[in-house]
Structure 1
């Protein structure tokens, strides 16, 4: 039996990079104290997210960093033996990407650029173009960035590539068009939880879902970080509060149990599915 302790973070981040790094260091320290082998931090944990999803101010965008920036090396130094996934804005020449990186003290383990961009983001970021899982000391991981998990094909592609753990990094706000009096009644809150559980259950993998908390501009972030087992069962969660959702499990044993009779990936019928968008 190989037990892996997994932590998903819910926390607030903004434009102050030193503040963000301090909070990242605190979360890594808390995760280390909890015995975590893997920590998934939110999208845009370095530099914060957009403040306006309707008309982003071009003069108030998150700071962008190259893929080899010193700020990422500082996170790697904080991570040490732990595997840490963290979101940031990536600069590539004149292009900007909503990006995530997975690293440890040994260096970079994997990268992802958000593929599916909601309406406001297309005015700020370029989309990524692939979903590629990668090997880490805690197993084969694939990364998704918030809106990516709305599309089943995203998680399915990573699962077919052998990912056992899906790290879903989010800066996912409450609905801005149909606000509810309580976050628990919010449409986006329900969808956030639904997608986490559905992506885990349909692919029979572990989903580690982080999210931002607090408010920026007109956005209220949902929190609701969680670890979901391969049967779609929530193993740990933060609800709307900031903090860590921590669960310990034998990833391979849990996946094997979920796939003992029904093996979704083996039972696919790709010849019967439409492969082109309408």
Structure 2
């Protein structure tokens, strides 16, 4: 049996405050018997302060968006995270600095990255592939998905908007992932926002996608998220643990908290896949061409032409 925990919490640019918060959350998870803890996207230094083209630094008439601190995976901050994690498997989001790749200002490329680590090693790292609403202005994009071995099982990671793309989770499932950790900084709608955050359409989508991706691939799904507000963004919280049948085992609600559930990783997968096994029953010969590049240009959304950014 494995106890897993997913965090809903807010993080800012203050790295010292972030480390203190991580230490507290790790201690709480350890007290509750967790073997794996998922922190949100951009937990180290916070996410972007705004989304949409109005943060385009190439336009001098528009304000620059606030940037998170860029950290090297072989740097002291990740080493400090490893020391905090100890024997716990910790998944955490950060802005990765890749000094050997070209980037703005000559300092190297920046990636929106999820890192999985213990006190012994960095077990895996994933760079966000799907970039929403001008995120490319701050980060380079990743190029693929892959699962990796950890002390608690074979897992895969993805970040936020990735969950809207079934192919992303399917790629991890086909690579043998038993559990997917989905780290997010998923905000509420900025147009027609609901007075109650739990009723917001983007809260509903966040929850629906988590459950659908678990059920699509008949695997466990651990979803963390930012909570509260940062810059112009208001986050939906809603960290959760989902089983391979799409049932929510633990949920934080829209505020800060930690969702904790004890799962039978091997037994749960065997039970879910014992009859209709989605990965086995796929028919790539029937829909392979449909998944190729869409011919012709896609229509440009009206809100993109207006340069407003809509969510």
Q: Report the TM-score when normalising by structure 2.
A: 0.87
Provide the residue aligned with 1:172 in structure 2.
Answer: 186
Tell me the SS of whatever aligns to 1:35.
coil
Provide the residue aligned with 1:155 in structure 2.
Answer: 169
Q: 2: distance between equivalents of 1:189 and 1:249?
A: 25
Tell me the SS of whatever aligns to 2:291.
coil
Alpha-carbon distance, 1:178 to partner: 2.6
Provide the residue aligned with 2:269 in structure 1.
Answer: 255
Report whether the alignment pairs 1:227 with 2:241.
Answer: yes
Report whether the alignment pairs 1:277 with 2:293.
Answer: yes
Alpha-carbon distance, 1:58 to partner: 3.6
Deviates more, 1:259-268 or 1:55-64: 55-64
Tell me the SS of whatever aligns to 1:210.
strand
Tell me the SS of whatever aligns to 2:130.
coil
Report whether the alignment pairs 1:28 with 2:8.
Answer: no
Q: Show CA shifts across 1:236-266 (max 9, x none).
A: 0101121110000111101110111100000
Q: 2: distance between equivalents of 1:204 and 1:72?
A: 32
1:173-252 correspondence runs (5 A): 173-252=187-266
Alpha-carbon distance, 1:159 to partner: 0.2
1:50-69 correspondence runs (5 A): 50-54=48-52, 55-56=54-55, 57-58=63-64, 60-69=66-75
Alpha-carbon distance, 1:59 to partner: 6.0
In structure 1, stretches of 5+ residues that fail to align are none
The match for 1:85 among 82, 88, 91 is 91
Q: 2: distance between equivalents of 1:275 and 1:189?
A: 28
Deviates more, 1:240-249 or 1:159-168: 240-249
Report whether the alignment pairs 1:73 with 2:73.
Answer: no
Alpha-carbon distance, 1:134 to partner: 0.2
Q: 2: distance between equivalents of 1:169 and 1:109?
A: 16
In structure 2, stretches of 5+ residues that fail to align are 56-62, 104-108, 295-311
Report whether the alignment pairs 1:267 with 2:281.
Answer: yes
Tell me the SS of whatever aligns to 1:144.
strand
Q: Report the TM-score when normalising by structure 1.
A: 0.97
Provide the residue aligned with 2:301 in structure 1.
Answer: none
Tell me the SS of whatever aligns to 1:143.
strand
Alpha-carbon distance, 1:119 to partner: 2.1
Q: 2: distance between equivalents of 1:122 and 1:152?
A: 21
Tell me the SS of whatever aligns to 2:122.
strand
CA RMSD between the two structures: 0.9
The match for 2:14 among 6, 13, 16 is 16
Q: 1: distance between equivalents of 2:30 and 2:20?
A: 15
Q: 2: distance between equivalents of 1:148 and 1:116?
A: 5
Q: 2: distance between equivalents of 1:155 and 1:178?
A: 30
The match for 1:134 among 138, 148, 158 is 148
Provide the residue aligned with 2:35 in structure 1.
Answer: 37
1:179–1:142 Cα change, 3 Å: same
User: How many corresponding residue pairs?
Assistant: 276
Alpha-carbon distance, 1:184 to partner: 1.6
